[in-house]
Each structure stands twice: as structure tokens, then as C-alpha cells.
Amino acid sequence: MKQQEHYKSKLKEQKVVNMETENLDISSPQSSPESLVQQITEFHYEPEADRTFTNWFGRCKDVCQDYLSHIPAYCYGG
């Protein structure tokens, strides 16, 4: 009987720990501006080589839209 109570107690403790950790924000920290800039290649327009803005932006889109989205508009005049 004592052993059952011990296991019940342990299960309750585990549930509390699980509930507490579910609300934690453990996402990766935001990247530094320097590392983000290094991910964006310089744009050179060469339509003969299929180097257009659309293609360039397609490669850099995730950095521009996802990683830089936390920057307030007043920082870049937007």
C-alpha cells in the first residue's frame, strides 16, 4: 500500500513538472544582426544568367521575412 502511495506521489510530481515546462519558451534565441546579414548574398542583376530580383529574393526570403520580422518598423523607416 505504501508503495502505491509512493508511485502516486511521484506521478503527481511528474504531472506538475510537465505542466510547468509546457509553458516555457525554449525556442532558439534570435540571431545576431551580423549573422543574419551574412546569410543574405549581394544582389547582382544579370537576366541572361537568370539572376533576377525574384530569384535572389526567393533564396533570401526566409531571412528577410522570418528572422528580421521582430525588428520594429521605426528602425528601418517602414
**Predicted pLDDT at 20:** 46
Q: Which residue has the higher pLDDT, 1 or 23?
A: 1
Q: Is the pLDDT of residue 74 over 80?
A: no
C-alpha cell at 64: 528577410
pLDDT digits (tens, 9 = 90+) for 22-69: 544 444 445 677 777 787 888 888 989 888 989 888 888 887 777 777
Burial state string for 60-77 with b = 16 or more CB within 10 A and e = fewer than 16:
eeebeeebbeeeeeeeee
* DSSP assignments along 16-62, one per residue: HHHHHHHT---PPPPPPHHHHHHHSPPP--BGGGTB-HHHHHHHHHH
